[in-house]
Structure 1
Amino acid sequence: MIDLSIELLALLLAAAFAAGFIDAIAGGGGLITVPVLMLSGVPPVQALATNKVQGMFGAGTAAFAYARNGQVDLRAQAPVALIAFGAAVCGALLVSVLPTDWIRMILPVLLIGIALFFALRPGLSDMDRPSRLSPLMFHATAVPLVAGYDGLLGPGAGSFYMLAFVMLGGFGILKATAHTKLLNFASNAGGLAAFAVVAQPLWALGLAMGGMQIIGARLGAGMAMKQGARVIKPLLVLTSLSLALKLLWDFSI
């Protein structure tokens, strides 16, 4: 366990609250928590592992809040979450085999594309549209691909889940957000299961930040359910662009 001053601990807890709020609406909370963990002196791989500890609390809280409001049936989604968990474990185990540097290079392009899609695509609202894939095909292709990426790297996974549900599943914006959360929780858990073996996450810090994630996620989910696409779309665009810019900045230094 690293030594943290009261000021640094307060900063980490505030970051977790903000990340939980943003994640519950549009994803991308790791954009806040991972840099703050690293600035606090946590080594990069350990920061990613600790981030998955605290991130599970926010995703789980948001999933429960959306389910309680009738936006998603968690029992019906449980088998799909198991697929996401298994794919994330596989993705994390493949981190030393797959060309992660190449994947990181194309990520900003993909994230900018997602931002432009949600910003410019006409007709995107909380209304469902005809799906392009059957549920079986969606669960067999889109879910393991995104979950495997979440276990392998992670940044932007929430945006990729959202894009899949909207483009391929035909879901409205709010429904897509609600269905993303349990899968995000499962792929976080799968990535953590693999990371825990080699990365030694800071459990106490992750749990403390997780408590703040719960508070932020409850507030964020509440706002999303009240405002729907009006708040989800612009925040999704903002977080996708911010993450793309951060990745480009990381490459330039």
Structure 2
Amino acid sequence: MGEHIVLVYLVVCFFVFLAGFVDSIAGGGGLISLPAYMIVGLPVHTAIATNKISSSMGTAVSSFYYLRQGFMKWKICAPSIVAAFIGSALGAKITLMIDEKVLKIAMLIVLPIILFYVLRSKALQENPDYEVVDKVTPNLIMKCIVIAFAVGIYDGIYGPGTGTFLMLLFTAFCHLSLHDAAGTTKAINLTTNISALAVFLFNGAAYIPLGLAAGCCNMIGNYLGSHCFTSNGSKIVKPIIVVVIVIFFIKVLTELIG
């Protein structure tokens, strides 16, 4: 039993470290970390809740880095954070009311959609084929609020791909620069993680020791990844995410069939 626990910690910590590295560059680290918790045998609700512990710790590191770099425009971030907090808390309450089997079926539907967006996403392009917006207008702020609230609900319910979705929407729909989109994404993602985590902890859904251990590894990954953001580190992100999504999809499908 002891050897099994050690293996669980080693597997989860390795993949959560990798998730932190990926997440700090382009978002989507949850596409690696959540499958890791489920692959070692944690129930869906426990896996989602525990993942929020490590994600919150890691995202805090990269968020601080982006804040220091001046990538967060607070006219956009402040109202978006409020919307994301409300949306994520609502989503977390919803997921606790959903049966585990229903969640797995939902994953089989969501994962191919996420994979499609990851493959087609322009969020990682340094030179997008549209004009980047520099001026913060009321219309831009409203777009960001709506995005933050909607994605916040998704993050509370499920989570993986949140950062990628935010990067995609902020760059392609709001036309923010890559750096502004990354900064805003980190501010919102940290908020949604903390908001959902508070709900999960209140309901006793998380496996705290494993979450804290993995969180330390996630922090290291986020620290290293955030410093690679301007060094073409994004080139390795998509292949890693695609491989993990495919493995995760096969595992969930096998469990449902079995």
TM-score interval, smaller chain: 0.7 to 0.9
Residues 49-83 of structure 1: CA deviation (Å, up to 9, x unaligned): 01001100111111100111222246962342122
Query: What's the offset of the Cα at 1:146?
Result: 0.6
Residues 99-153 of structure 1: CA deviation (Å, up to 9, x unaligned): 8645751552354134214299894289834799823321331110111111111
1:140 aligns to what?
145
1:202 aligns to what?
207
Please provide the CA RMSD for this pair: 3.4
Matched residue type, 2:81:
A
Query: What's the offset of the Cα at 1:27?
Result: 1.7
Structure 2 residue 44 is matched with structure 1 residue 44: yes
Question: Where do 1:43-82 residues align within 5 Å?
Answer: 43-73=43-73, 77-82=77-82
1:9 aligns to what?
9
CA contact (8 A) 1:52 1:192 kept: yes
Task: Name the CA distance, whole Å, in 1 between partners of 2:215 and 2:165.
Answer: 23
Task: Name the CA distance, whole Å, in 2 between partners of 1:27 and 1:120.
Answer: 10
1:112 aligns to what?
116
Query: What's the offset of the Cα at 1:208?
Result: 1.9
Q: How many percent identity over aligned positions?
A: 27
1:91 aligns to what?
91
Task: Name the CA distance, whole Å, in 2 between partners of 1:246 and 1:67.
Answer: 34
For normalisation by structure 2, the TM-score amounts to 0.80
Q: Which runs of 5+ in 1 are unaligned?
A: none
> 1:104–1:56: structure 2 CA closer, same or farther, 3 Å change rule?
same
1:185 aligns to what?
190
> 1:231–1:120: structure 2 CA closer, same or farther, 3 Å change rule?
closer
Q: Indicate the SS of the match to 2:122.
A: helix
Query: What's the offset of the Cα at 1:31?
Result: 2.6
Task: Name the CA distance, whole Å, in 1 between partners of 2:7 and 2:248.
Answer: 27
Structure 2 residue 167 is matched with structure 1 residue 162: yes
Q: Indicate the SS of the match to 1:118.
A: coil
Q: Which runs of 5+ in 2 are unaligned?
A: none
